């Protein structure tokens, strides 16, 4: 079936193979499982009428929210909420200059705090990670080659494709296969060379092999560009005093793995762990100066709202005071869910203990029914349909936050048990080996 304007608008079901010459129809064809779910499943595109802690109300139904990326629960912290009005009094709600036209001093304060927390030389704040990928990757890649991990986040893909349209060559290497990357680096002599990867993968919750990739980048004179949207705020530097294996301070994957920023650009955002609309990259002062004129979002994009700059700054304070305790609590709650899956013999790719827990279904066609089952049993998760994940990984993603109550975790564990009785889930590797 050819996708019509009518079906694009949602008034007709989207089924069948789509053929088209046009990229938008090809893309819509790729997304048609997702579009069908969006039309039919209460877990997709829901309107949230009310929240109460980490409980959300959709229509008449209250659900425990396991789809939020507010890992540390900063969105609900009274200390952070209370900090906002004073900033609004002083700055109004919105600066409405692009950063080049004028940056409230709050940006400088955030960049200074970032340098101190991350241990990097300099940092640049822009509104979102997506805008950073779309504007910084093309500048760093120039007319050279980008080596992109094949499981990198869609927003990295888009940034790389934009760079390719501007003259860069794009090559993909297999995730978790540094040999494949090395082979490509050896056969390509162009300059500059940029390696783009996810830090903590947004679906599996596992960390990339940063030490090996950093070594390859340094050996082959490339720059390693790491999207750590999900790691920053959760994982941090290791220390014998640490309260849990996430480490201390939540200062991201580079510090967590004992690396430094030599030939590494770390990109992350505040919109997950810090519950604020802003993002950043680490850089040298020279790169920062270049990006001020070469990266369009610095010149042209609307800025983060003052409330977000305020909650970012208040978030740094709270992170210093209580961040490690919150992370220890998050670790424990996540471990409860992972242990439950293990006891039920259900597979998850999560090997790290990170609060992203993907549960693939045995049959990808069950996703609609499984989503409805979870919803009807009061559990809200992210449905992972094709093409968000490959077909053999279609399922759902649970995200745990420090502000999920013990009662919500218990409810999740109970519902997962019921789900395992009614649906075919992929067996855990350990269960398979034992059978
Ligand atoms: C790995 C990763 N990168 C980038 C983004 C997009 O971030 P932003 O909303 O700051 O553009 C996300 C959002 O979920 C993500 O998971």
pLDDT reported for residue 21 = 65
Cα-to-centroid distance, 129 and ligand 1 (Å): 6
Best mutation site among 202, 252, 277 for ligand 1, i.e. most ligand atoms within 8 A of its Cβ?
Answer: 202
Atom of ligand 1 minimally distant from the CA of 201 = 1
Best mutation site among 155, 231, 268 for ligand 1, i.e. most ligand atoms within 8 A of its Cβ?
Answer: 155
Beta strands in 201-245 (DSSP E): 223-227
pLDDT reported for residue 27 = 82
Contact 129 CB / ligand 1 (< 6 Å): yes
Contact 295 CB / ligand 1 (< 6 Å): no
Domains in the chain: ranges and CATH: 35-74+322-434 (3.90.1150.10), 96-304 (3.40.640.10)
Closest CA to 358 of 231, 150, 202: 202
Mean pLDDT, residues 87-104 taken together: 97
pLDDT at 335 over 90: yes
Contact 269 CB / ligand 1 (< 6 Å): yes
Packed helices 178-187 and 210-219: angle between N→C axes, nearest 10 degrees: 10
Query: 282 is written with which tokens?
Result: 């680490």
Packed helices 105-118 and 306-344: angle between N→C axes, nearest 10 degrees: 40
Contact 229 CB / ligand 1 (< 6 Å): yes
Contact 134 CB / ligand 1 (< 6 Å): no
pLDDT reported for residue 313 = 98
State the burial class of residue 93 (Cβ atoms within 10 Å of its Cβ: 0-12, 13-18, 19+).
exposed
Contact 227 CB / ligand 1 (< 6 Å): yes
| CB 68 within 8 Å of CB 415 | no
Task: Report residue 2's pLDDT band, with 50, 70 and 90 as the boundaries.
Answer: very low
State percent of the chain over pLDDT 70: 94
Mean pLDDT, residues 264-292 taken together: 98
Mean pLDDT, residues 28-34 taken together: 83
Q: 239: helix, coil or strand?
A: coil
pLDDT reported for residue 26 = 85
**Beta bridge partners of residue 197, listed in sequence order:** 226
Mean pLDDT, residues 89-107 taken together: 97
pLDDT (tens digit per residue) in 361-383 = 999 999 999 999 999 999 999 99
pTM above 0.75, yes or no: yes
């Amino acid at each position: 079936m050819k996708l019509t304007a009518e079906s694009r608008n949602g008034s007709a079901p989207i089924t069948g193979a789509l053929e088209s010459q046009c990229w938008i129809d090809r893309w819509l064809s790729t997304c048609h499982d997702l579009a069908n779910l969006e039309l039919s499943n209460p877990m997709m595109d829901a309107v949230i009428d009310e929240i109460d802690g980490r409980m959300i109300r959709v229509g008449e139904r209250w659900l425990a929210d396991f789809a939020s990326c507010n890992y540390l629960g900063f969105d609900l912290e009274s200390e952070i909420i209370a900090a906002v009005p004073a900033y609004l009094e002083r700055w109004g709600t919105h600066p409405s200059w692009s950063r080049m036209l004028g940056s409230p001093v709050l940006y400088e304060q955030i960049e200074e705090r970032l340098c101190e927390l991350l241990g990097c030389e300099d940092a640049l704040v822009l509104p979102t990670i997506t805008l950073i990928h779309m504007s910084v990757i093309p500048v760093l890649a120039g007319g050279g080659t980008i080596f992109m991990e094949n499981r990198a986040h869609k927003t990295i893909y888009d940034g790389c494709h934009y760079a390719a349209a501007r003259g860069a060559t794009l090559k993909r290497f297999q995730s978790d296969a540094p040999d494949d990357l090395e082979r490509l680096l050896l056969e390509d002599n162009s300059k500059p060379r940029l390696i783009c990867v996810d830090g903590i993968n947004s679906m599996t919750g596992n960390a990339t092999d940063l030490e090996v990739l950093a070594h390859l980048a340094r050996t082959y004179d490339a720059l390693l560009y790491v999207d750590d949207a999900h790691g920053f705020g959760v994982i941090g530097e290791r220390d014998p005093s640490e309260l849990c294996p996430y480490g201390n301070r939540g200062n991201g994957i580079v510090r967590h793995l004992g690396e430094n920023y030599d030939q590494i650009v770390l990109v992350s955002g505040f919109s997950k762990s810090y519950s604020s609309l802003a993002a950043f990259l680490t850089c040298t002062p020279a790169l920062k100066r270049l990006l001020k004129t070469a990266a369009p979002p610095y010149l042209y994009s609307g800025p983060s709202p003052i409330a977000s700059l305020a909650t970012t700054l208040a978030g740094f304070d709270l992170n210093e005071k209580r961040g490690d305790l919150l992370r220890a609590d998050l670790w424990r709650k996540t471990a409860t869910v992972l242990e439950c899956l293990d006891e039920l013999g259900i597979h998850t790719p999560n090997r790290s203990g990170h609060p992203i827990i993907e549960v693939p279904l045995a049959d990808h066609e069950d996703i609609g029914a499984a989503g409805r089952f979870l919803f009807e049993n009061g559990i809200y998760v992210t449905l992972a349909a094709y093409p968000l994940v490959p077909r053999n990984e279609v399922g759902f993603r649970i995200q745990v936050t420090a502000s999920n109550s013990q009662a919500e975790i218990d409810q999740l564990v109970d519902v997962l048990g019921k789900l395992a009785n009614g649906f075919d889930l992929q067996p855990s590797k350990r269960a398979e080996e034992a059978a």
